[in-house]
Amino acid sequence: MKFPTALALAAGLALSGLSGLPAMAGPDDGGTLVIGSLNVPRHFNMAIQTGIATALPATQIFASPLRYDDDWTPQPYLAKSWEVSDDGLSVTLHLVDNALFHDGTPVTSEDVKFSIGIIKANHPFRTMLAPVETVETPDPLTVILHLSQPHPALLLSMSPNLMPILPKHIYGEGDIKTHPANMAPVGSGPFEFVEYKQSQYIKLKKFDRFFIEGRPHLDEILIQLFSEPSSMVLSTKNGDLDMVPFLSAPRDIKRMAGYDGIVIDTRGGEANGPLNWIAFNTQKPPLNDLRVRQAIAYGIDRNFILKALMQGQAPEATGPIAPGSPFYTDEVERYGLDLDKSRALLDAAGFAPGADGLRFSLTMDFIPGQEELGRNIAEYLRSQLKKIGIGIEVRVAPDFPTWAQRVANYDFDLTEDVVFNTGDPVLGVNRTYLSSNIRKGVIWSNTQQYSNPRVDELLEQAAVETDPEKRKALYKEFQQIVVADLPIYYLNEVPVRTARKSDLMDVPVGIWGATAPMDKTYWK
């Protein structure tokens, strides 16, 4: 895996983009793209929310300073060029001079400064912009970020799904968390918001004054929302859907691969690094006792989950960093199945079996709409953990926002979750484990309420370390401690595929997959 952003900041290289953004020639314009999704958004403001549900539409609505190709190289977007100072303590962005928001207002450096402030204060990835001390705007098209320390992941954080540029004149008044524009967004991306029918569809239309001449090619994008995977699969089979991104259920991938006119793309989304895991509420008895969490870990047959439930298509996950990362280590505790050890740990923790054989009961949540990754695992745990005297009540959320609210507000015992590494541990890993990121009400922060001072120290050191080998050593110790502390039991890497009609061309296959602008996508 290549990390030019880290190398650039470490070496103090000056990076610059293309001198201009040329017109796109060739593809025919027109047509509607119908996308199927199981992810229902709470709103569309990626500056304060993360996740596929929000990113899929929001990366079409909002533009960002940079975008990324398929080999991790940053490319111009709202910033036509940029430089990093020799000491890595400042980054200068030079904006294009023809970008407009969808209401016709020009995009300026003040909008960038405003957006960075909003993200820094509100985004779940608290460490993402933590080193940014001040933002200078010497003129309407120049932005200078001043840092307290080198930040290896800064340029990556300027991607569309991480740094949407909001119009200050719209979002600058009122509470950003409850702002009405969160549900009727105004951005400067290739498509503008038209309508959101709650839990049914999101409608976007071509922005005719998009700053890259000749794009986008499509007239309209319609994101059709589904509550059940089976309905989405059937709609794909019937030809009603043109594209289904972020397919992860092995059964659905196999089915769609057999449909006429459907292509399964395996490329794209490499930066996501999604892991499927079981999260513990570590501050809620009896899960605040490490012995109880260990007993649960030793009571789970991960091999059964990988071979039977995941049908052999999902590699094992052993810790908080995805195996594809250069910072990954497998030198951690593996928690192999050992029911006798589980029972002994529970006995030692003071939980003796009752007359019904149960020691205590827990609720198990899962992300709605995920059968194989979520519900099937929850049902498996119901039967499996009963063998060691733990009762499991599987709690079904009616939709994603309900599940997210429960977990974000610590109203859970155990939950299945899929969380992305997001390219660099500073962006997608730190948020889950830093004690400073225990933030009630914010999903995909440290919702396990896990706290270990040594982990905090290691993550803070690695966030500013520019030597790759030293960073790797820091992250190795971090992984070993976290796996031993067990705020999370890791299950598997999540396979990520995109199903599309064979005549749909230039679907994003860069490191962010479908959470990237679709301004190049067209019908053949």
One domain for residues 201 and 340: no
One domain for residues 429 and 475: yes
One domain for residues 58 and 206: yes
- Judged against a pLDDT cut of 90, whether residue 224 lies above it is answered with yes
pLDDT band at 26 (very low <50, low <70, confident <90, very high): low
One domain for residues 162 and 303: no
Whether residue 218 lies inside any domain: the answer is no
One domain for residues 94 and 184: yes
Kindly state the average pLDDT of the residues 398-412. Answer: 95
- First-to-last alpha carbon distance for the chain, in angstroms, is 32
Could you tell me the CATH number of the domain that includes residue 452?
A: 3.10.105.10
- DSSP string across 466-523: --HHHHHHHHHHHHHHHHHH-SEEEEEEPP-EEEEETTEE----STTTTSS--TT-EE
Domain tally for the chain?
Answer: 2
Q: CA-CA distance, 5 to 419, in Å (whole number)?
A: 22
Q: At what angle do helices 453-464 and 468-485 cross, to 10 degrees?
A: 160
Q: CA-CA distance, 494 to 315, in Å (whole number)?
A: 8
One domain for residues 54 and 145: yes
Whether residue 246 lies inside any domain: the answer is no
| Gyration radius of the chain over CA positions | 23
One domain for residues 176 and 303: no
Q: Is the full-model pTM beyond 0.85? A: no
Kindly state the average pLDDT of the residues 133-160. Answer: 96
Whether residue 397 lies inside any domain: the answer is yes
Whether residue 64 lies inside any domain: the answer is yes
- Judged against a pLDDT cut of 50, whether residue 12 lies above it is answered with no
Average pLDDT of the chain is 92
Whether residue 163 lies inside any domain: the answer is yes
pLDDT tens readout for residues 262-302: 999 988 888 889 999 999 999 999 999 999 999 999 999 99
One domain for residues 154 and 190: yes
Which of 26-35, 161-170, 478-487 is predicted with the least confidence, judged by mean pLDDT?
A: 26-35
One domain for residues 397 and 479: yes
| Percentage, residues of the chain above pLDDT 70 | 95
Give me the sign of the Cα torsion angle 186, 221, 517, 248.
positive
pLDDT tens readout for residues 29-79: 999 999 999 989 989 999 999 889 999 999 999 999 999 988 889 999 999
Kindly state the average pLDDT of the residues 93-108. Answer: 98
- Residue 449 DSSP SS3: coil
One domain for residues 301 and 421: yes
pLDDT tens readout for residues 422-467: 889 999 999 999 999 999 999 999 999 999 999 999 999 999 888 8
Number of helices and strands (H, E) in the chain?
A: 15, 20
One domain for residues 472 and 370: yes
Kindly state the average pLDDT of the residues 100-127. Answer: 95
Tell me which residue range forms the domain holding 105.
4-14+31-213+497-523
Could you tell me the CATH number of the domain that includes residue 126?
A: 3.40.190.10
Give the pLDDT of residue 384. 98
One domain for residues 368 and 408: yes
Could you tell me which of 496, 518, 504, 503 has the C-alpha nearest to residue 245?
A: 496
Whether residue 222 lies inside any domain: the answer is no
Edge-to-edge strands, sheet with 220-225: 191-197, 201-206, 220-225, 32-37, 243-247, 497-501, 262-265
Q: CA-CA distance, 116 to 119, in Å (whole number)?
A: 5
Whether residue 233 lies inside any domain: the answer is no
Whether residue 261 lies inside any domain: the answer is no
